[in-house]
Copies of this chain bind each other. A is one copy, B any other.
Amino acid sequence: MAVSEGLPIGALAGRTGLAVSAIRYYESQGLLKPWRNAGGQRRYQRADIRRLSFIMIAQQFGLSLPDIREVLAGLPNNRTPTPKDWARIGELLRDHLDARIDTLLRLRDNLDGCIGCGCLSLPKCKLYNPDDTAKAKGSGPRYLLGDRPEV
């Protein structure tokens, strides 16, 4: 009775609430690397439960799977991650989250500045170009001026 024969995929699914298909999908995206037993079935370490949990949390924070893969790359691959390792990448997550909150707060400020006037007009309203979306590619200025209700 080896201390760790590893967990089969269904056990991870049960522990995390994820679908088996989702866990296999994450593996296909490089987020997880189980080994195979003699019969070719996937076997996981107990630490992979935590890894999956992290993935679920990070997704709630709006990270894409490639984003998450990068963050997880910050974990050691030669040993089982310690709580300290997890705490470290938890802070990476926090940075992402802070950035998203800042963006939304700025958006809200701009919206507040606009609600009063109802303008939604291009030159005045900052909401249009939060990331300089309209690139004004040489075709001259695009105004919403003149787009006024005729009533």
List the interface of chain A (C-beta within 8 A of B).
Answer: 14-17, 46-47, 49-50, 53-54, 56-57, 60-61, 79-87, 90-91, 93-94, 97-98, 100-101, 104-105, 107-108, 111-112, 114-122, 125, 127-128, 130, 133-135, 139, 142-144, 146-151
Contact = CB atoms under 8 A, between A and B. Distances in A.
A47 B15 CA distance: 53
B94 A144 contact: no
Given A50-B144, A101-B101, A149-B47, A60 B127 contact: yes
A148 B30 CA distance: 23
Contacts of A93: 111
Contacts of A98: 108
A63 to B, nearest CB: 12
Number of copies: 2
B14 A142 contact: yes
A15 B120 CA distance: 13
Given A56-B128, A83-B149, A100-B104, 16 more contacts: A15-B142, A15-B143, A16-B142, A17-B142, A46-B146, A53-B128, A60-B107, A60-B130, A79-B149, A85-B118, A90-B115, A90-B118, A90-B120, A97-B111, A101-B104, A101-B105
A27 to B, nearest CB: 19
